[in-house]
Structure formats: C-alpha cells, structure tokens
Amino acid sequence: MEQSQSQEDFNCMLEKLRLEQNLSFAIIASLVSAIVMAILWAILTITSGYQFSIMAIVVGLSVGFAVRFAGKGIDGIYGWIGAIGALLACIIGNFFSYVGYISLEPESDMSYFESMIFLLSNMQITAEIMLEVFSPIDLIFYVFAVFEGYRFSFRKIDSNRFS
C-alpha cells in the first residue's frame, strides 16, 4: 500500500511539474543565451588571438542552465532545445570570431559590421571560410557543448522524497 501511495505522490508531482513547463520561455532563453555566449566567445577569441575550445563546454552549460531556469522542463524536448541552442552558439561564436579576424586584417578597410554584412551577403565565401578553419577538434568540443546543453536543460526532480 505504501509503495502505491508513493507512486501516486510521484505521479502527482510530475503532473504539477509538467504544468509549470514553459516551452516558449525555454526557446527564448536558449536563443538569448546562445547569442550572448557567441558574442562572449568572439570577444575572447578576438582579444586573445586564440580560440579556447573549452569555451564550447561553458557555452553548453550556460545555454542548458538558461533553458532549465526559464523553461522549467522535465520532458525530453527541453534537452533538445538546450542542445540545439548550444550548437548554434558554438557555430555563431566561431562566425563572429572570423568576422573579427577579417576586420582586423591590415589590408581590410572594413569595420566589424561591414565585414559581417559582407560575409552574410556572400554565403559561399562564408561557407568556404568556415570549412577552411574548421578542425576535427572543433567537432569534439561541439559534441561536448551539445551534451552539456542537453544535460543541464532539465529541471531536477528529488526522487528521494518518493523512495
């Protein structure tokens, strides 16, 4: 009898948590966090002259926690929102960094934003640059970012209360 009451309590709690979920807030938080982290990634990369691959893990954590806080999700979709947001942040962060490098080239007479507009209006050149500077180690850290974005997007449930 006690086991079934505990299971009922757990199911009731899960239903309450599901009612508190907010998919729209999770998506917005994922996108905002991804953009902020991409900008920070680019600033760090441009100012240091070095790409810190570990930043991908920080990006994943940040996006994941943003989704957890805003979305309050326990369902699988929240993990995917965090994972996709983390991947977007990594890709956009690298893109912003490349824009910065191009604008800082001595032979470039374009500002950062002019360089960005140029690259966005010439997607073939952008794709070539992104592929040229991509390395296999980037892929490894992107996987870490996606994993962390997924893992930390879920609201924690204290199952000890129901054992």
What's the token pair of residue 37?
A: 């982290």
pLDDT surpassing 60 at residue 145:
yes
What is residue 5's predicted lDDT score, i.e. its pLDDT? 72
**Residue 5: inside a domain:** no
57-71 tens-digit pLDDT: 999 999 999 999 999
**Residue 15: inside a domain:** no
* Helix axes 123-133 and 76-104, enclosed angle (nearest 10): 100
**Residue 2: inside a domain:** no
pLDDT surpassing 80 at residue 114:
yes
**Residue 100: inside a domain:** yes
16-75 tens-digit pLDDT: 889 899 999 999 999 999 999 999 999 999 999 888 878 889 999 999 999 999 999 999
**Residue 10: inside a domain:** no
Whole-model pTM: value is: 0.86
* CA 12 to mean position of chain CA atoms: 32
Number of domains in the chain: 1
Mean pLDDT value across residues 74-84: 96
Please check whether residue 119 is in contact with residue 98, taking contact to mean a CB–CB distance below 8 angstroms.
yes
**Residue 68: inside a domain:** yes
**Residue 119: inside a domain:** yes
**Residue 46: inside a domain:** yes
The whole domain housing 38 covers 22-157
CA distance 9 to 153: 24
